[in-house]
Amino acid sequence: MLYLAIKALISGIIIAAVSEIAKRSPGFGALVASLPLVSVLGMIWLWRDTHDRVGMAAHAHATFWFVLPSLPMFLLIPALLNRGAPFWIALVVSCLLTIALYGAMIWLAPRIGLRL
């Protein structure tokens, strides 16, 4: 239980740090947010828990492919905000697009030979 609490605390600190940094410098906050810290921490926790090379390789491979459908979200949000959309609408629409693109990736991956 302590291990789970430590993982949650470290992950929470990263999220809080990103939001605080972004208040002072949106660009630097975006840089820190774009770092694959969550992925790296996830891989560290997974490795510590399993020491499974095959599973780790599969996880890293799938992470790469699942990053791709999330990228349009970061273009749609500013496009909607710049056109006057309220933040929450822009966020929800962007999240729905991302969910649809994840679904498309899950559908498409086996058809092009990817194992996710």
My answer on whether 110 and 61 are in the same domain is yes
pLDDT for residue 70: 94
Both 45 and 69 in one domain: the answer is no
Closest CA to 77 of 61, 95, 62: 95
What Cα–Cα distance (Å) separates residue 49 from each residue in 6, 45, 53, 96, 102? Answer: 14, 6, 12, 33, 27
The per-residue pLDDT for 90 is 98
15 and 62 together in one domain: no
**Alpha-carbon span 114 to 65, nearest angstrom:** 9
32-36, 51-55, 65-69: least confidently modelled range: 32-36
- Co-location of 59 and 116 in the same domain: yes
Same domain, 100 and 74: yes
Same domain, residue pair 115 and 61: yes
User: Do 61 and 27 lie in a common domain?
Assistant: no
Whether 89 and 80 have beta carbons less than 8 Å apart is answered as: yes
| pLDDT of the residue at 64 | 93
- Residue 23: give the domain boundaries: 1-51
Co-location of 110 and 57 in the same domain: yes
